[in-house]
Structure 1
């Protein structure tokens, strides 16, 4: 199971009004156990796109990156991990509104 150690969040602007809902971008620094196939000595972070539409939040896309070289890793998170990240994003939406 992954552990979020640091994060940042920003509300994304849609200058043309094409997209529905409000979109947010999160950068989540994560730790994973050494025995996990996702483990990297350089460390990892996840870039998350999250949308809130009609009072409902939803994780719409994420990519896992290796720190240092910013290489995108070809891994999918487990359902529980996606749910944990989605819950985390919902909890921290207010911070994007302040920035």
Structure 2
């Protein structure tokens, strides 16, 4: 199971009004156990895009990155990890509104 150690959240502006809902971008520093196939000594972070439409929040995209490297890793989160990220996003949306 992964553990979120640090994060940042920002509400994305849609200057042309073509996207529905409110969109947020989150950067989540994560720790995973050494025995996990995702483990990296350099550390990992997730870039997540989250949307709220009609008062329903949904994780629409995420990428996992190794710190110090530019390309996304070819890994997918387990269902329970995706649910944990979604819950985390929902709990922290207000912070993006106050920035």
TM-score range, shorter chain: over 0.9
**Structure 1 residue 27 and structure 2 residue 27: aligned?**
yes
Q: Once the 2 structures are TM-superposed, how far is the Cα of residue 69 of structure 1 from its aligned partner?
A: 1.7
Q: Deviations over 1:5-43 (max 9, x none)?
A: 000000000000000000000000000000000000000
Q: In angstroms, what is the RMSD of aligned CA positions?
A: 0.5
Distance 2:65 2:71 in 1: 5
Alignment of 1:1-99 (within 5 A): 1-99=1-99
Q: Once the 2 structures are TM-superposed, how far is the Cα of residue 68 of structure 1 from its aligned partner?
A: 1.2
Structure 2: gaps spanning 5 or more residues: none
Structure 1: gaps spanning 5 or more residues: none
Q: Once the 2 structures are TM-superposed, how far is the Cα of residue 71 of structure 1 from its aligned partner?
A: 2.7
